């Protein structure tokens, strides 16, 4: 399984676990469900995409993972504001999520370059 080697997947798993552990005691089940699901979506979509054969599929799942990161950051801000998440922990999670999003972006660019290079090979008159 290729995805296990990705540092971004490992970081996203750790963040998701931290969120689950911290939110375990939250009695607002709607909020707890939403924030844990968005946190869980990040490493899950990275993994699912990485195991896809086509680079286009891989990019689609990375895009979903990055979007889930934005959703998670929003929920963390709200959680801090309404007192569900301690500010220091929440700001650490936001920093971690932003780092993960940046890593997903770099991985996506690498894969996009691969698509362009593959397309260029087909277009080359010597092939």
What is the token pair recorded at 20? Answer: 């689950």
pLDDT of residue 35: 98
What is the token pair recorded at 73? Answer: 């950051």
Q: Are 80 and 90 a contacting pair, CB within 8 Å?
A: yes
Residue 1's pLDDT band, with cuts at 50, 70 and 90, is confident
pLDDT of residue 115: 75
Asked if the model's pLDDT at residue 122 lies above 70, the reply is no
Instruction: Assign residue 54 a region (left: φ > 0; alpha: ψ between -120 and 50; beta: otherwise).
Output: beta
3-state secondary structure of 63: helix
d(CA 72, CA 40): 10
Termini Cα distance of the chain? 33
**Going from the N-terminus, what domains does the chain have, and what CATH number goes with each?**
10-123 (1.20.1440.60)
């Amino acid at each position: 399984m290729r995805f296990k080697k990705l540092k971004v997947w490992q970081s996203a798993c750790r963040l998701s676990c931290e969120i689950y552990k911290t939110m375990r005691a939250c009695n607002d089940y709607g909020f707890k469900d939403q924030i844990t699901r968005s946190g869980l979506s990040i490493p899950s979509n990275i993994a699912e995409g990485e195991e896809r054969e086509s680079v286009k599929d891989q990019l689609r799942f990375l895009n979903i993972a990055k979007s889930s990161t934005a959703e998670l950051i929003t929920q963390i801000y709200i959680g801090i504001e309404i007192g569900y998440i301690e500010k220091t922990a929440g700001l650490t999670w936001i920093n971690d999520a932003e780092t993960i999003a940046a890593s997903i972006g770099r991985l996506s660019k690498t894969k996009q370059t691969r698509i362009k290079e593959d397309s260029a090979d087909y277009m080359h008159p010597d092939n």
